[in-house]
Amino acid sequence: MVKKVGFIMMALLLVVLSACSSSGSSDSSKKKTIVMGTSADYPPFENVDTKNGNKIVGFDLDLAKYVADKLGYKLEVQNQDLTV
């Protein structure tokens, strides 16, 4: 009896987990995007490089690019003005 209940519970669990899977298209040419918000006021962690077209550079950005690349995501960085 215990084995039957265990089997039924396992079958229900598999049904529930399969319903949670994503049903979107698996187009590998499109990369998902991670959006990173930062306040680029704290060199060397992140700051705005005005010599190269106002790009945000720094350690935090390099680390975020590395992690996004390893996970297969595209990184989008948004500078947030945190004036209070």
- Please write the tens of the pLDDT for every residue from 7-39: 777 776 666 666 555 555 555 567 799 999 998
pLDDT for residue 51: 92
Contact 56, 41 (CB under 8 A): no
Q: What is the mean pLDDT of the chain?
A: 81
- Helix or strand run (H / E) with residue 16: helix 2-19
Q: Please report the pLDDT score of residue 2 as a whole number.
A: 75
What number does CATH give the domain 30-83? 3.40.190.10
Rounded Cα–Cα distance for residues 52 and 62 (Å): 16
Both tokens assigned to 45: 């962690």
Which of 9, 54, 42, 34 is closest to 1 using CA atoms?
A: 9
